[in-house]
């Protein structure tokens, strides 16, 4: 049996363009994206090689969007997390959050904290939800925690990140045909392989994830060697 060690991450891009294609409001694209994520999470959970999935929900830059869109996004995340509780509990999936907690609505923050607490003892699989997350912001927050910066090494710096216990990311999948990294887990994904998918995220299927993993398997990871 293959070791369950891979950490997969997804940048779910193209939700608004998907909505525009169907003459829908932007947040309706986000709602469809979160609905679609369930099948992808389940596929990763059942894959014998994958131990963790990081999913980017909202970046630190997304606050620049209209207040109406942001408000609807926060509502969607509350509804989505509530709907995922049974999946997490029944399958013993550990839920963690990466990013800031001080700017999101209190009901959403409370829900995140509750799910984190309820699932903290699970070890089969980890779902890492990045909300109000930015790679530069995470590094800046990590630096603020350091009392003796002169003594910091690459290895010791890791302990100041949001989740130092998670393994580095092996494969990042970005949808919608964009070829930017957008500061996504810039420390943890430093040696990750990237797969750029043309589909908008609401159209992404487990079969697409399978093909991305097949593509990953064709690559030789040298890590500077």
Residue 185 CB neighbour total at 10 angstroms: 27
Question: In the predicted model, what is the mean pLDDT of residues 75-94?
Answer: 97
Residue 206 CB neighbour total at 10 angstroms: 15
Question: In the predicted model, what is the mean pLDDT of residues 179-188?
Answer: 95
**21-38 residue pLDDT tens:** 999 999 999 999 999 999
Neighbour-count burial for 132-164, b at 16+ CB within 10 Å, e otherwise: bbbbebbbeebeeeeeeeeeeeeeebbebbbbe
Question: In the predicted model, what is the mean pLDDT of residues 81-88?
Answer: 97
Per the residue annotation, which of 62, 72, 91, 215 is the catalytic one?
62
167 touches 50 (CB < 8 A): no
Q: Is the pLDDT of residue 1 over 70?
A: no
Residues in the chain: 225
Q: Is the pLDDT of residue 163 over 90?
A: yes
**How much of the chain, in percent, has pLDDT values that exceed 70?**
97
Residue 78 CB neighbour total at 10 angstroms: 17
pLDDT score recorded for residue 38: 97
Could you confirm whether 91 is annotated as catalytic?
no
Q: What topology does CATH give the domain 6-217?
A: Undecaprenyl pyrophosphate synthetase (3.40.1180)
CA distance 66 to 130: 20
The domain segmentation of the chain, as residue ranges, is: 6-217
Say what the pTM is. 0.94
CA proximity to 163, closest of 193, 190, 129, 140: 129
pLDDT score recorded for residue 3: 60
Per the residue annotation, which of 3, 13, 36, 217 is the catalytic one?
13
Q: Is the pLDDT of residue 2 over 60?
A: no
Q: Strand (E) positions, 45-170?
A: 50-59, 93-98, 125-133
Question: In the predicted model, what is the mean pLDDT of residues 199-221?
Answer: 95
Question: In the predicted model, what is the mean pLDDT of residues 124-135?
Answer: 97
CA distance 60 to 196: 22
pLDDT class for 20, splitting at 50, 70, 90? very high
pLDDT score recorded for residue 123: 94
Handedness of CA 185, 86, 36, 57 (dihedral sign): negative
Q: Is the pLDDT of residue 214 over 70?
A: yes
Question: In the predicted model, what is the mean pLDDT of residues 109-137?
Answer: 97
pLDDT score recorded for residue 54: 98
**In the chain, what's the furthest Cα-to-Cα distance?**
55
Q: Is the pLDDT of residue 69 over 60?
A: yes
Looking at every residue in the chain, the average pLDDT score rounds to 95
Q: Is the pLDDT of residue 102 over 60?
A: yes
pLDDT score recorded for residue 181: 93
Could you confirm whether 13 is annotated as catalytic?
yes
């Amino acid at each position: 049996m293959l070791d369950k060690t891979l950490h997969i991450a997804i940048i779910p891009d193209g939700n608004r363009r998907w909505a525009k294609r169907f003459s829908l409001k932007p947040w309706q694209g986000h709602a469809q994206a979160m609905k679609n994520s369930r099948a992808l999470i389940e596929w990763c959970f059942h894959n014998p090689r994958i131990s963790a999935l990081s999913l980017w929900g909202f970046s630190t830059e997304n606050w620049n969007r209209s207040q109406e869109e942001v408000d609807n996004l926060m509502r969607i995340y509350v509804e989505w997390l509530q709907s995922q509780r049974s999946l997490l509990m029944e399958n013993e999936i550990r839920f963690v959050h990466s990013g800031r907690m001080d700017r999101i609505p209190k009901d959403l923050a409370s829900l995140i904290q509750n799910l984190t607490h309820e699932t903290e003892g699970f070890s089969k699989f980890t779902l890492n939800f990045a909300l109000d997350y930015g790679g530069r912001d995470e590094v800046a927050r990590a630096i603020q925690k350091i009392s003796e910066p002169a003594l910091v090494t690459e290895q010791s710096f890791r302990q100041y990140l949001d989740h130092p216990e998670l393994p580095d990311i092996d494969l990042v999948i970005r949808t919608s045909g964009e070829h930017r990294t957008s500061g996504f887990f810039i420390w943890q994904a430093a040696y990750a392989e990237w797969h750029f998918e043309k589909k908008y995220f609401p159209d992404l299927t487990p079969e697409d994830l399978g093909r991305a993993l097949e593509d990953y398997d064709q690559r030789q990871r040298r890590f500077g060697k």
